[in-house]
Amino acid sequence: MAILLVLLLIFSYVSMNFNILNPANGAYQTINYANYTSGNFNVPGLYASVEVVMDNSGLAHIYAKNDHDLFLAQGYFMASNRLFQMEVQAMAASGNLSSWIGQSGIPSDQAIRLIGLPEQATMLMNSYEKNYPDYYNDVVAFSQGVNDFINASKVPLNFKLLGVQPFYWSPFYTLVWEEYMTWMLTTGAYEPLESALFFNTFGYENTTLIWPYYPYFTENITMVPGDGTVNGYNLTDQGISQQYLWSLNWYDQWATGINTTLLKNLTPLIKYAINNISDPLILPEPRFLENSIGSNSWIVTSNYSSSGYPMLANDPHLNLFAPSVWIPMQLSDPDFNVTGWALAGIPGILIGHTNRTAWGLTTPEGNSANEYLEILNGNKYLFDGSWHRMTILNYTLLGKTYSIYYTNNGPLIAKYENYGISLNWVASKPGYILIAELKLDQSQNYSDMLDALKYWSYPPQNFALVSLHSAGYITAGLYPLINETLPDGQHVQVIGSRSLLNGSMLEYQYSGYVPYKYLPQDKNPERGYMFAPNQPTVGKNYPFPFIGGFWASGGRAESINAFLKDHPGMSIENMIQLQSNLSDYWASMLKPYIINAIKGMYMNETEKTAFNYLQGWNATAYISSIGMTIYWYTLSEIYNLSINRILNFYGLGGIQEPFESTIIYILQHNQSSPWVNGNFTKLARESFSDAIGFLYSKLGSNVSSWFWGRVHRVEISSILGIPALSIGPIPFYGDDHTVSVGAVPFNIQIPEPNVTVSSSLREIAIPGNGTFLGVFPGGPSENVLSYYFSNQLPYWLDHKYYNMNKWTSEVNWTYE
């Protein structure tokens, strides 16, 4: 009997680990919710009934009779499909992840608290409630919808897997997630620090050679056509020569207030700061000059379009998750009729269209945050000649208390002895991007959209805009200005810095923001098109120079520009063709140098075959491309044997490698540069031999089987990082510089690391004739068992689209 009792105790104790496998009310219960069935739902708080129709693409059409019900129903629908995602995102964004996942969540929580997201969201929530109660009430209604679902439903699968319970939603969580997305898309948080590290290590000449203020070959492909003049205003009007301004050393003491010798001594502190604000959940390694998150968009004017109506295309590149951050839907009531993609957890539609307008977003890569060097004495900091006491904020995680110190510039993100680095980010003050979004959702013409974007504060975004007859761009958002005194005594207000600024000096404080009228913008350009895939937004004569402009290489911009230039009378088919374009512009420029370098070398049979493939390759990154594989591994080895070796030697391993465009520039001007080991021919030959030898050893002797999709794959990761809940890896096309992007680092490994950042949605819109196409890599549901978990994925992989205006009803619900 005693033995049986002991056995019973042991089995009962052990059985507690298997509750989730209870067939009746464990994980299997969620099978009941895998697919949708039409029906009625009791949703408390509605003023009237709401109809919800799920169409054949998985897009939900929500028809309400008033705004309150519309947002309440949107909250209910989102929660019914994405509750776990919303809540895990909210936990991460509010620095509370450790309360769910324990000690392993602490580093992420610390980074998020240090950046200040929870405090900013609280401040923003209070400000909305006080200053914009109507919009605040929309978020309250949305929250009620989420909580109605929590009250009415069983716990979704992922909560069971993690062993946690849902918490009630509130406007705070919507706003803190909004802040988190803002942070992810903010330029200037890391870049000046990383740029300072490079400058400290290699000096001014090398820094401007490797990281020029404007990436090579991009000066004539800016988003706003022309020299940088916006609404008739430019640098020349201020009596400042652009040639002079851009020839200056903006790392120098006159520009930053910091002696370059002192800056050099701050290298460990700068590295420490980068570590501290790098959320390990987003960035497994601290981020250095990384531009992997980019996006594409372009517009075509009515004169340049075959239909006679303006057109727009947009595909924002984000980390691909299963489920996606996006959820497609239509919101319809007497005030709204908007269709597109909402961010899970946030009311409204962020990217989409009304019947008369459409818009898309890309990131402009100009500083909306800057870092300041603080001079400290105990708990005091020096500012404008006197000492001030720092504000201290305490918070507790898993029973341990931590402190954040604030100067007038913002939180101290690193501190050592008498020096600290503070982060001055525009999001530390309330900004009402939700208002901008909801006003866009109601826009009826181009000027409505421009009016809406006056509320867009951060992160600055390139908004591609089209209405029935107009098309254009504006980079909306707050760009803080710094009033600089140039060495010749002239004054100019600039955006951002290349390095740390002196926080103790009044003259380097923000002096205001770029006026809305002079933000980068243009409408119906004469040449017939504009594009904004993260290249410089404006030319060098822009009246507020982007000193803190850390632009993408411009490879995608070059391809888009070339295509649009070659296709007057753009059709919808051309738009699709361009969005699926797999030409690597830099590869087309770099390949001849590599071919020239290696063509005279002794080659074995495998190398000869590989060389023939490379020579015949048209610089495209199709899954079936063999030349792409040979090019990529050769290029990777070129980087590894030269630039990466130099960076590693100086302790900057992991830093973003220079762009291919920089290599091309170097090869055009000096093939004996130390950056290509003093002899590019020798470097290219060695790299080619190494790459082919490696591919031979891993993929076999049959070169014709070395196709790109064999080594290059996409993975759509679960938000918990659990492979079993992820999608893929799937053979994938593209590379860093193809319009249809599939970025991977320069790694010599088989397969390459999975592509994790790509087009998070694809949108093509022609409001003039009512054409609205869209697709995204997922589905509305987060239930891994559901067809709607990934129903749009095959179309996305094949560059196909759903017609968002023509659909058939699949499921009907009534919320009442």
Q: Give the Cα-Cα-Cα angle 111, 85, 34 (nearest 5 degrees).
A: 160
Question: What is d(CA 257, CA 370) in angstroms, rounded to the nearest whole number?
Answer: 14
As measured in angstroms, the least distance from the Cβ of 327 to another protein is: 22
Q: Which of residues 150-169 bind another protein (CB under 8 A)?
A: 161
Tokens for 304? 């340049």
Question: Are the C-beta atoms of residues 719 and 756 closer than 8 Å to each other?
Answer: no
Stretch near another protein under the rule CB under 8 A, chosen from 8-16, 350-358, 610-618, 803-811: 8-16
As measured in angstroms, the least distance from the Cβ of 161 to another protein is: 7
**Toward another protein, which CB reaches closer, 15 or 391?**
15
Question: What is d(CA 421, CA 415) in angstroms, rounded to the nearest whole number?
Answer: 6
- Tell me which of 725, 727, 739, 766 binds another protein, using CB under 8 A: 725
Question: Are the C-beta atoms of residues 656 and 289 closer than 8 Å to each other?
Answer: yes
Q: Which of residues 577-596 bind another protein (CB under 8 A)?
A: none
Question: What is d(CA 543, CA 812) in angstroms, rounded to the nearest whole number?
Answer: 54
**Toward another protein, which CB reaches closer, 390 or 725?**
725
Stretch near another protein under the rule CB under 8 A, chosen from 1-9, 119-127, 493-501, 570-578: 1-9
As measured in angstroms, the least distance from the Cβ of 28 to another protein is: 6
Q: Does 731 bind another protein (CB under 8 A)?
A: no
Question: Are the C-beta atoms of residues 345 and 89 closer than 8 Å to each other?
Answer: yes
Phi-psi region for residue 129, left (φ > 0), alpha (ψ -120 to 50) or beta? Answer: alpha
Question: Are the C-beta atoms of residues 626 and 708 closer than 8 Å to each other?
Answer: yes
Q: How many residues does the chain have?
A: 816
- Tell me which of 23, 239, 284, 616 binds another protein, using CB under 8 A: 23
What are residue 495's DSSP bridge partners?
481, 546
Stretch near another protein under the rule CB under 8 A, chosen from 9-17, 110-118, 412-420, 434-442: 9-17
Q: What is the CA radius of gyration of the chain?
A: 27
**Chain-centre distance of CA 781, in angstroms?**
22
- Tell me which of 27, 283, 699, 748 binds another protein, using CB under 8 A: 27
Question: What is d(CA 375, CA 383) in angstroms, rounded to the nearest whole number?
Answer: 8
Q: Does 398 bind another protein (CB under 8 A)?
A: no
**Toward another protein, which CB reaches closer, 641 or 785?**
785
Tokens for 702? 């049959």
Stretch near another protein under the rule CB under 8 A, chosen from 28-36, 102-110, 410-418, 603-611: 28-36
**Toward another protein, which CB reaches closer, 4 or 600?**
4
Tokens for 377? 């004495």
Q: Does 232 bind another protein (CB under 8 A)?
A: no
- Tell me which of 1, 103, 378, 600 binds another protein, using CB under 8 A: 1
Tokens for 632? 């990529």
C-alpha distances in Å from residue 202, one per residue of 213, 298, 404, 645:
16, 37, 33, 14
Question: What is d(CA 709, CA 489) in angstroms, rounded to the nearest whole number?
Answer: 57
Stretch near another protein under the rule CB under 8 A, chosen from 29-37, 120-128, 388-396, 792-800: 29-37
Q: In sequence order, which residues have a C-beta less than 8 Å from that of residue 645 and are 6 or more positions away?
A: none
**Toward another protein, which CB reaches closer, 24 or 39?**
24
**Toward another protein, which CB reaches closer, 32 or 56?**
32
Q: Does 37 bind another protein (CB under 8 A)?
A: no
Question: What is d(CA 414, CA 421) in angstroms, rounded to the nearest whole number?
Answer: 5
SS3 state at 653? coil
Q: Does 22 bind another protein (CB under 8 A)?
A: yes
**Toward another protein, which CB reaches closer, 18 or 602?**
18
Q: Does 262 bind another protein (CB under 8 A)?
A: no
Site string for another protein, 474-493 (x = CB under 8 A): --------------------
Question: What is d(CA 708, CA 267) in angstroms, rounded to the nearest whole number?
Answer: 40
**Toward another protein, which CB reaches closer, 26 or 212?**
26
Which residue intervals of 382-443 are DSSP H helices? Answer: 433-440
Question: What is d(CA 585, CA 504) in angstroms, rounded to the nearest whole number?
Answer: 45
Q: Does 18 bind another protein (CB under 8 A)?
A: yes
Strands 762-766 and 311-319: antiparallel
**Toward another protein, which CB reaches closer, 25 or 805?**
25
At residue 594, φ and ψ (nearest 5 deg) are -70, -45
Q: In sequence order, which residues have a C-beta less than 8 Å from that of residue 718 and are 6 or more positions away?
A: 321, 322, 724, 725, 726, 784
Question: Are the C-beta atoms of residues 529 and 301 closer than 8 Å to each other?
Answer: yes
Total binding residues toward another protein, as defined by CB under 8 A: 32
459: preceding bond cis by omega (within 30 degrees): yes
How many Cβ atoms are within 10 Å of 378's Cβ, its own excluded? 9
Amino acid at 295: S
**Toward another protein, which CB reaches closer, 162 or 468?**
162
- Tell me which of 12, 243, 386, 396 binds another protein, using CB under 8 A: 12
**Toward another protein, which CB reaches closer, 53 or 727?**
727
What are residue 51's DSSP bridge partners?
63, 814
Stretch near another protein under the rule CB under 8 A, chosen from 26-34, 232-240, 293-301, 575-583: 26-34
Tokens for 371? 């870092």
- Tell me which of 722, 750, 797, 811 binds another protein, using CB under 8 A: 722
CA quadruple 734, 739, 742, 745: dihedral positive or negative? Answer: positive
**Toward another protein, which CB reaches closer, 44 or 723?**
723
Locate tokens 């002192």: which residue?
262
328: preceding bond cis by omega (within 30 degrees): no
Q: Does 34 bind another protein (CB under 8 A)?
A: yes
Q: Which of residues 191-230 bind another protein (CB under 8 A)?
A: none
As measured in angstroms, the least distance from the Cβ of 776 to another protein is: 23
**Toward another protein, which CB reaches closer, 162 or 393?**
162
Site string for another protein, 603-622 (x = CB under 8 A): --------------------
Q: Does 24 bind another protein (CB under 8 A)?
A: yes
Q: Does 4 bind another protein (CB under 8 A)?
A: yes
As measured in angstroms, the least distance from the Cβ of 458 to another protein is: 38
As measured in angstroms, the least distance from the Cβ of 18 to another protein is: 5
Q: Does 601 bind another protein (CB under 8 A)?
A: no
- Tell me which of 32, 231, 511, 803 binds another protein, using CB under 8 A: 32
**Toward another protein, which CB reaches closer, 4 or 378?**
4
What is the DSSP track for 695-751? HHHHH-S-GGG--HHHH-EEEEEETT--GGGSEEEEE----TTSSS-----S---SS
Stretch near another protein under the rule CB under 8 A, chosen from 14-22, 127-135, 217-225, 432-440: 14-22
- Tell me which of 7, 262, 392, 398 binds another protein, using CB under 8 A: 7
Exposure string of 436-474, with b = 16+ CB inside 10 Å and e = fewer, is bbbbbbebebbebbbebbebbbbbbbbbbbbbbbbbbbb
As measured in angstroms, the least distance from the Cβ of 16 to another protein is: 7
Q: Does 721 bind another protein (CB under 8 A)?
A: no
As measured in angstroms, the least distance from the Cβ of 725 to another protein is: 7
**Toward another protein, which CB reaches closer, 3 or 704?**
3
Question: What is d(CA 79, CA 141) in angstroms, rounded to the nearest whole number?
Answer: 13
Q: Does 15 bind another protein (CB under 8 A)?
A: yes
Strands 50-55 and 326-332: unpaired
Q: Which of residues 732-791 bind another protein (CB under 8 A)?
A: 784-785
- Tell me which of 268, 674, 721, 723 binds another protein, using CB under 8 A: 723
What is the DSSP track for 140-181? HHHHHHHHHHHHHSPPPHHHHHHT-------HHHHHHHHHHH
As measured in angstroms, the least distance from the Cβ of 36 to another protein is: 14
**Toward another protein, which CB reaches closer, 1 or 39?**
1
Residue numbers at the binding site for another protein (CB under 8 A): 1, 4-5, 7-8, 11-12, 14-16, 18-28, 30-32, 34, 161, 722-725, 784-785
